[in-house]
């Protein structure tokens, strides 16, 4: 077996940066509220924006890595970004640059000048890029270090085994000790300085193995074909799609990868139209103007939140009855739908809370949270009922139901289409009810209620008025 433990350990030591950056993020809100004296909401907003950016970036960086840079350069850039970002974060604390900037060295908002503020926000951007870059490239680059003849196995020679064990022990122990010890360190400069030093050390260890790494050229991104289909279909929007799908462009030298034509999203079929004013050879040279039917169909598969794509992959690789096997499909296919679902959940929850707060009687506002949770609880129960009904309906006529014993044999894509249709119906119903609903102005009535209460409290007692009322 091939011995790649040396390069392997020099790469995996970069996990230090990920662990310590996660710690820095964990204490960031406390730092902003205690030192910068920010409100909890403002501090939480900064942390949430940071988290959102570091979650969105991996998709774009993976595309750039697969198309242009490759795993190594993305890992190198993100590691350097980590180093500079963590260093700037430590330098943004008041005591570090107080002498150079002429500010005080106390952990107080008055000691935070423009230089410290700029360094802090730049550090967040660099750390977010570093985190996203490691998510995109660290795992793939580690896998690139295993030669094909090793059969996926990595082991150390007997004479290197003690050193390898010691290296693994240090690699795991150092970030664990740091994370548990840092909370007991009071000065924030040291709290952020230690992760910065460890990140620098891990990057230097990684750079020490440059001569021993296996470098793989960018293989190209599957997202490129999707972009090409959208561009080509848009450029040919005024051209008529042929009635016979056999007239669309396809290549016979890709028999193993052919995907049959379907009638879904037929507007995208225009990307495979062969124009009469140019030869086919001329059009084939520009993939942004002419795409294969297979590429069009693969793009169609990505349009519905991606279960149909998963089923197509497991069918192609013969994994229908192998639920424990790893599916050769990137987890980033799930990223867009989870982002949309996360945004929808947050907006829906806030919307329901706002509705109950403004529209329910004031005496019932104590139950507002319970009302909100009740709505979502009813939705959870309804989801169970929808699965049961969908399974019963899909079995009618002796057909195979959508929900089978294994996930690979199930047709969850059909169920997701059903949910999409129900959501569309619910949206129409909501629009109708919302347009007919008689709203009350919660803020104005609250002010009037508060004003009337104040008037009643502050008004002097008048016997004549009391008698008159009687």
12 and 154 fall within a common domain: yes
Where among 212, 238, 261 does a domain terminate? 212
**Which helix (H) or strand (E) is 24 found in, with range?**
helix 15-34
d(C-alpha 225, C-alpha 461), whole Å: 81
Domain assignment of residue 254, yes or no: yes
User: Domain span at residue 73?
Assistant: 5-212
286 and 423 fall within a common domain: no
Domain assignment of residue 459, yes or no: no
105 and 49 fall within a common domain: yes
The pTM is what? 0.61
d(C-alpha 100, C-alpha 78), whole Å: 29
Domain assignment of residue 466, yes or no: no
163 and 199 fall within a common domain: yes
Structural domain count, the chain: 3
3-state secondary structure of 321: coil
- Confidence category of residue 109, pLDDT binned at 50, 70, 90: very high
72 and 95 fall within a common domain: yes
Q: What is the pLDDT of residues 156-212, one digit of tens each?
A: 555 555 655 666 666 677 777 777 787 788 899 998 998 899 899 889 989 988 888
235 and 377 fall within a common domain: no
Q: What is the pLDDT of residues 5-40, one digit of tens each?
A: 567 778 878 888 788 888 888 888 889 999 999 887
Domain assignment of residue 13, yes or no: yes
* Tokens found for residue 85: 């970002």
97 and 201 fall within a common domain: yes
189 and 234 fall within a common domain: no
* Tokens found for residue 185: 């360190």
Domain assignment of residue 313, yes or no: no
Domain assignment of residue 285, yes or no: yes
Contact status, residue 87 vs residue 200, Cβ threshold 8 Å:
yes
By CB neighbour count within 10 A (0-12 exposed, 13-18 middle, 19+ buried), where does 90 fall?
A: buried
39 and 110 fall within a common domain: yes
**CATH classification of the domain holding 115:** 1.20.1250.20
354 and 288 fall within a common domain: no
Q: What is the pLDDT of residues 89-101, one digit of tens each?
A: 999 999 999 999 9
* Tokens found for residue 220: 């190209």
Residue 395 has pLDDT above 50, yes or no: yes
24 and 164 fall within a common domain: yes
Where among 178, 212, 246 does a domain terminate? 212
Domain assignment of residue 101, yes or no: yes
Domain assignment of residue 86, yes or no: yes
Q: What is the pLDDT of residue 383?
A: 78
């Amino acid at each position: 077996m091939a011995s790649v433990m040396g390069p392997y350990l020099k790469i995996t030591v970069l996990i230090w940066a990920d662990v310590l950056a996660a710690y820095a993020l964990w204490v960031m809100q406390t730092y902003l509220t205690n030192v910068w004296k920010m409100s909890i909401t403002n501090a939480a907003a900064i942390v949430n924006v940071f988290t959102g950016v570091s979650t969105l970036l991996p998709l774009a960086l993976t595309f750039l890595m697969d198309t242009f840079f490759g795993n190594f350069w993305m890992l190198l850039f993100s590691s350097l970004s980590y180093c500079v970002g963590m260093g700037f974060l430590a330098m943004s604390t008041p005591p570090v640059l107080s002498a150079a900037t002429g500010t005080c060295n106390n952990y107080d908002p008055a000691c935070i000048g423009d230089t410290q503020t700029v360094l802090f926000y730049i550090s967040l951007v660099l750390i977010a890029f570093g985190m996203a870059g490691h998510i995109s490239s660290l795992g793939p680059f580690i896998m690139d270090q295993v030669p094909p003849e090793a059969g996926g196995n990595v082991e150390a020679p007997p004479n290197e085994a003690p050193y390898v064990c010691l290296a693994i022990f240090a690699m795991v122990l150092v970030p664990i000790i740091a994370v548990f010890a840092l909370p007991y360190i009071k000065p924030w400069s040291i709290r952020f300085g230690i992760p910065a030093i460890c990140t620098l050390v891990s990057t230097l260890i990684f750079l020490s193995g440059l001569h021993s790494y296996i470098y793989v050229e960018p293989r190209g991104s599957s997202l490129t074909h999707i972009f090409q289909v959208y561009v080509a279909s848009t450029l040919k929007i005024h051209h008529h799609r042929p009635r016979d799908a056999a007239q669309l462009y396809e290549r016979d030298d890709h028999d193993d990868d052919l995907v049959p034509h379907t009638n879904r999203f037929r507007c995208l079929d225009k990307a495979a139209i062969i124009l009469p004013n140019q030869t086919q050879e001329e059009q084939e040279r520009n993939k942004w103007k002419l795409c294969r039917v297979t590429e069009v169909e693969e793009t169609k598969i990505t349009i519905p939140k991606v279960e149909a794509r998963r089923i197509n992959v497991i069918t192609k690789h013969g994994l229908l009855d192998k639920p424990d096997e790893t599916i050769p499909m990137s987890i980033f296919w799930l990223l867009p739908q989870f982002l949309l679902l996360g945004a929808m959940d947050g907006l829906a929850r806030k919307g329901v809370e706002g509705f109950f707060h403004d529209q329910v009687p004031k005496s019932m506002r104590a139950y507002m949270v319970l009302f909100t949770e009740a709505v979502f609880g009813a939705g959870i129960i309804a989801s169970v009922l929808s699965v049961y009904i969908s399974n019963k309906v899909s079995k009618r006529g002796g057909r195979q139901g959508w929900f089978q014993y294994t996930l690979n044999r199930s047709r969850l894509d059909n169920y997701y289409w059903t949910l999409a249709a129900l959501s569309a119906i619910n949206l129409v119903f909501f629009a109708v009810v919302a347009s007919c609903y008689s709203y009350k102005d919660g803020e104005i009535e609250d002010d009037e209620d508060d004003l009337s209460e104040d008037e009643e409290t502050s008004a002097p007692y008048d016997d004549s008025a009391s008698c008159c009322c009687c």
